[in-house]
Amino acid sequence: MSEISPLQKARAAYQARLPKILAENGPFATAKLGAPTQSVADQDAIKKLFPDTYGLPAIDFVPGAPFATTPIKAGVILSGGQAPGGHNVIAGLYDGLKKLNPANELYGFKGGPSGLIDDKYIILTDEIIDSYRNTGGFDMICSGRTKLETEEQFEKVMANCKAHGITAIVIIGGDDSNTNACTLAQYLLAKNSGIQVIGCPKTIDGDLKNAWIEVSFGFDTATKVYSELVGNIMRDANSARKYWHFIKLMGRSASHIALECALETHPQACIVSEEVAAKKLSLRQIVDQLTAIVVDRAKNSMNFGVVLIPEGLIEFIPEIQTLIAELNDLLAKNQAEFDALADMDAKIAFVEARLTPAHREAFQPLPTAIKAQLVGDRDPHGNVQVSKIETEKMLAEMIDNNIKALNATAEKKIKFSSQCHFFGYEGRCAAPSNFDANYCYSLGFTASALIGSGKTGYMASCRNISKPVDQWVAGGIPLTMMMNMEHRHGKDVPVIKKALVDLSGKPFQTLVANRDAWAKGVEFRYPGPIQYFGPTEVCDLPTETLTLEHL
């Protein structure tokens, strides 16, 4: 491990808390079965693909007496991008397994799913677990993005588990990773392998959620980190009073992070991609709306402000969305000729000449740097790498062009200077907040109870989490319950459905109710850094999003 900081030493002493049912009964709580479930959509197709795990009941844990267990070996992997609290999931799982039977062992497979396939692991011990409690990052066993989806991979996983005597696998990941967990659970069950598969909900993006998974872990910590940084910039903006700050925030598929940070900090504008898509707003409309805010504030000598932008915005703008699709297709068909061109100007001209008139009209006004990013390197599937498109700079430059056009004929000139930022990796490995430390530990401990109950194909769940920890409800949700069919890479495949911002929900409606006032004034809110020590009303608050959703 790295050198231990004073904060980490102090955090090591923090005792993560459990829901009352687990604190009193440990992993021996009884699994109370609810009614049979069904997938969120495409029921017939999902049932056909997952015949042995479809329709399982949701589970709530209720009081139960300790029971004798034979020693078991379990494996755990971290899958996908990092999220604060992953180590506490492993710690909760480890502690729960040891309470089931002190002879139980936990294998940590290194580097994510590839470690499970290639049999790269460490056996986790008290010393290892204790050194990582309440820490950020995934460096205990590291993560990876290998997909578990082929029969060959499943056979390797099964062979490795049988070689070690492992009878349970816990996959800690987001929607794609838990889609793989669902497929693996079905395969291992159909093969009568005796190997259980349990998932845990991880992603800072907040798009893995439903009635049973009220929030994915890491969202609380990441948004608190970003909100602190946004608040710092707001304080600077309100002090210098000469810059407009355009801040892009992580979250490609959904705008939960941007929305939460807006509720925490009260910026002049927060774009929500889902609203853009619902209203079919064009890029020009978005730029003109932001320009109007700049102009209105300038009339009151307020030549400063903050705009929050979700990372995936560009894919939600209708004409840009279809432009990207045409660009992907065009470049795939003309790749050799395109690659042979000498410079970026020639490549942009090559593409522009071949676009359909409507998409050429959308492409031409874009800043040259954005054009270059749109025609730049593709991912392995031939798609534009949206996270590399500097949307914040694009908006700032287009607003600047609008202001210059207005100033050309105006007597009183509008001052406009911009600064651009992107907050992403800054939040993924932060030391977890008290909320995430407790939530993650509880999810891991719940996973051990699901293993002890003999369940497979489930995701660990803790509900009622806007309340104090002792009031949380621990249980499990069938992975198939979250599935639907989506068209990806030319074929229909089963995936866990992403949860986008609910435009009728209280969090978004709170933004709508306040954004005109925030646009005009200086109602900035400075949340400051995460508080680990102090009164409950300071240290243990859930996110604004979670609070509003449960009013």
Between 171-175, 375-379, 409-413, the lowest mean confidence (pLDDT) is in 375-379
Per-residue pLDDT at 155: 98
Residue 108 forms beta bridges with which residues? Answer: 76, 122
Phi, psi at residue 116, to the nearest 5°? -70, -35
Check pLDDT > 70 for residue 327. yes
- By C-alpha distance, which of 111, 180, 120 is closest to 150? 180
200-209 core/surface letters (b: 16 or more CB in 10 A; e: else): bbbbbbbbbb
C-alpha–C-alpha distance, residues 260 and 501, integer Å: 11
Phi, psi at residue 429, to the nearest 5°? -120, 20
Mean pLDDT over 279-285 rounds to: 96
What is the torsional sign of CA 202, 204, 209, 214?
A: positive
Do the Cβ atoms of 227 and 264 come closer than 8 Å?
Answer: yes
Helices 506-520 and 283-299: crossing angle in degrees, nearest 10, is: 40
**What beta strand segments (E) does 453-540 contain?**
458-463, 473-478, 483-488, 491-496
**What beta strand segments (E) does 259-345 contain?**
269-270, 305-310
Q: What is the assigned CATH class of domain 312-384?
A: mainly alpha
Assign 1 a pLDDT band (cuts: 50, 70, 90): low
Do the Cβ atoms of 64 and 25 come closer than 8 Å?
Answer: yes
Do the Cβ atoms of 106 and 88 come closer than 8 Å?
Answer: no
Secondary structure class of 494 (helix, strand, coil) = strand
Output the six-digit token pair for 510: 């709170």
Check pLDDT > 70 for residue 414. yes
Output the six-digit token pair for 265: 């900090």
Largest CA distance in the chain: 85
In tens, the pLDDT along 262-279 reads 999 999 999 999 999 999
Q: Where are the domains of the chain?
A: 20-218+432-488, 230-311+390-427+499-551, 312-384
Q: Count CB-CB contacts under 10 A for residue 73.
A: 17
Tokens 């930022």 -> residue: 421
Mean pLDDT over 354-365 rounds to: 94
Assign 342 a pLDDT band (cuts: 50, 70, 90): confident
What is the topology classification, in CATH, of domain 230-311+390-427+499-551?
Rossmann fold (3.40.50)
In tens, the pLDDT along 450-480 reads 999 999 999 999 999 999 999 999 999 999 9
* CA-to-CA dists, residue 468 to 239, 249, 473, angstroms: 38, 29, 11
Domains 20-218+432-488 and 230-311+390-427+499-551 agree in fold: yes
Per-residue pLDDT at 380: 64
Q: What is the assigned CATH class of domain 20-218+432-488?
A: alpha beta
Please calculate the CA angle 277-548-444 and round it to the nearest 5 degrees. Answer: 95
How many residues belong to the chain? 551
**What residues are annotated to the active site?**
205
